[in-house]
Amino acid sequence: MAKMAASMVDSGEDAFRKIFKFYRRRNPPPDLTGVTDFSGGEPGDRVVPAELDLAAVSDVEASRVGLKPVREWRAFGLQGYPGFIFISNPFLRGCQAFWVRQCLKTYPQKPNICNLDMHMNPSETQDIWGQSAPTLSSPVSAQRKPKTLLEKLRWVTLGYHYNWDSKTYSSSSHTPFPSDLHSLSSRVSAACGFPGFQSEAAILNFYRPDSCLGIHVDESELDHTRPLLSFSFGQSAIFLLGGRRRQDPPTAMYMHSGDVMVMSGQSRLLYHAVPCILPAAAGRSALEAEGPVPDPDPDPDRDLRDGALPEPVSQEDWTVCRRYIQTSRVNVTVRQVLEPGQSLPETRACSPQGTAAAAAADRRSEKRKRSSGSTDSVHTSHT
Ligand code: SIN
C-alpha cells in the first residue's frame, strides 16, 4: 500500500472507503508507488508464486480459447489472501482481440440484458454494435459527435441475469450462457484446482475513463465453494482487495489487459472495488499494440471447432474494438451460481422472450442508484 494511503487508515470506521477515495482522487493525483504490479514478473514483498494444476488442461484445450500452455502462465498469490490467484495475462499473443470482440459485438446482443434495456425498447437495443460501428470506425473528427450506444454501455448480464435491485438471481430470468466463455472459464478454473466449474452467470462491466466500481462483495451466488473468475481487457485499472469487514484496509493492485483474477476459498467473499481507470502510457495499451492474429486460413467454410485458436477477428471489427479500448476497459466476471442439483426460486413468471423487458421493468430504479455515483453501487458509475 502506498505510504500516503496507509497513513490515512486509522483504526475504526470504513478504512476501505478512505483508500477508495484516495485512489479515486484526480487533483492532485494519487501516489501509485505502492500499488502491486504482478506484470513485473517476480514474486517479492507479499507476492508469492501460485501453484497450478498443469495436467488439468492440455495445450490444445488452452489454445482453443486463446490461452498459452498452463505451464507458461505466471500465476501469483498474495500473502494474507488465501485462495486469491492472479494470472498475469495468460493469453496467446493476438488472442485477446477475439474476447474483446465477443464482449463488444456478441455478448451485448439479445437475449442478453444490458443497462440500455432499462430505458430503451428492445428494438432500439437490438443491434448495439451495428448502430455504433460506423461512427467508431470513422476518423475522429474535431466536432464532438453524440455518444454511440457502445459508448453508453455500462453492463451486460449473461446466463442467470443478476437483479441489481434485489441482488438475487432467479430461474425466470435466465438465457443460455455463451459456450465459448464457458470453455475459457472452465479451463482457467480447472488449472486453478477447480475442475467441473459451471459458468452460470456473468456480469460484463464497461468502464469509460471516469468510471469506477463501488465497494462490494459478490455473495448472491448460492455456492461459494466455487471460484469467482475475472477477465480484464483494454485500459488498466487499480483494483482494491479488502477483507471480510469494511474496516480492513484493502491492498491496491494493477489490472492490465489480459489479466485474470480468481477469488476462491477464504478470498471468495472479500470486499473489492475499482476506484479508477488508468490511461495507457503514451495513449497506447499493450493490447492495442498487439492487435489480432491474422487469419491463417481465411476459408469461410472451415469448421472453427477444429481450429486450434479462437476465430480470427476481421480488420473491420478490430478497427471498432481498437477505437473502443483506446479509452475504455471491459471486465467480465464469471460465476457458478448453484451447487450441483440445486435450483433457484422463481421470482416471477415470464416467457424467455419477455426476459429482457421484464428485467428492465424490474430494474428501473437501478438507473436512479447509478446516477447517485455512490461508492456502494455494485456496477460502474461515473462522475
Ligand atoms: C473489475 O472490474 O475488475 C471487478 C469487477 C467486479 O468486481 O465485479
What secondary structure does DSSP assign to 149-214, as a single string? HHHH--EEEEEBPPBTTTTB--TTSB-PPPHHHHHHHHHHHHHTT-TT----EEEEEEE-TTEEEE
What pLDDT is attached to residue 304?
Answer: 45
Kindly state if the Cβ of 255 falls inside 6 Å of ligand 1: yes
Q: Which single residue is written with the C-alpha cell 435491485?
A: 165
Residues 55 and 22: their CA atoms lie apart, in Å, by 42
Nearest CA to ligand 1 atom 6: 333
* 209 alpha carbon – ligand 1 mean position (Å): 15
Residues 6+ apart with CB under 8 A from 354: none
Residues 39 and 162: their CA atoms lie apart, in Å, by 32
**Strand runs (DSSP E) across the chain, as ranges?**
47-49, 74-78, 84-88, 113-114, 155-159, 201-207, 211-216, 228-234, 236-241, 251-255, 260-263, 272-278, 329-335, 380-382
* 274 alpha carbon – ligand 1 mean position (Å): 7
Kindly state if the Cβ of 333 falls inside 6 Å of ligand 1: yes
User: From residue 121, how far is each of 116, 124, 173, 270 by CA, in Å?
Assistant: 9, 5, 18, 37
Kindly state if the Cβ of 274 falls inside 6 Å of ligand 1: yes
**Which grid coordinates are listed for 220?**
448472491
* 220 alpha carbon – ligand 1 mean position (Å): 15
What pLDDT is attached to residue 85?
Answer: 98
What pLDDT is attached to residue 341?
Answer: 87
* 294 alpha carbon – ligand 1 mean position (Å): 30
- Ligand 1 atom nearest the C-alpha of 203 is 8
* 308 alpha carbon – ligand 1 mean position (Å): 29
- Ligand 1 atom nearest the C-alpha of 232 is 3
- Ligand 1 atom nearest the C-alpha of 272 is 7
* 213 alpha carbon – ligand 1 mean position (Å): 7
Kindly state if the Cβ of 276 falls inside 6 Å of ligand 1: no
- Ligand 1 atom nearest the C-alpha of 216 is 7
What pLDDT is attached to residue 352?
Answer: 39
Kindly state if the Cβ of 213 falls inside 6 Å of ligand 1: yes
Kindly state if the Cβ of 256 falls inside 6 Å of ligand 1: no
Kindly state if the Cβ of 377 falls inside 6 Å of ligand 1: no
Kindly state if the Cβ of 272 falls inside 6 Å of ligand 1: yes
What pLDDT is attached to residue 139?
Answer: 84
Residues 299 and 6: their CA atoms lie apart, in Å, by 57
**Which grid coordinates are listed for 174?**
435466465
- Ligand 1 atom nearest the C-alpha of 255 is 3
What pLDDT is attached to residue 355?
Answer: 53
Using an 8 Å Cβ cutoff, are 320 and 137 in contact?
Answer: yes
Q: Which residues of the chain have pLDDT under 70?
A: 1-13, 41-43, 141-144, 281-285, 293-307, 347-383
* 269 alpha carbon – ligand 1 mean position (Å): 13
What pLDDT is attached to residue 267?
Answer: 96
* 381 alpha carbon – ligand 1 mean position (Å): 12
The residue to mutate among 154, 213, 267, having the most atoms of ligand 1 within 8 angstroms of its beta carbon, is 213
What pLDDT is attached to residue 306?
Answer: 52
* 379 alpha carbon – ligand 1 mean position (Å): 8
What pLDDT is attached to residue 301?
Answer: 53
Residues 291 and 6: their CA atoms lie apart, in Å, by 38
- Ligand 1 atom nearest the C-alpha of 331 is 2
What pLDDT is attached to residue 287?
Answer: 75
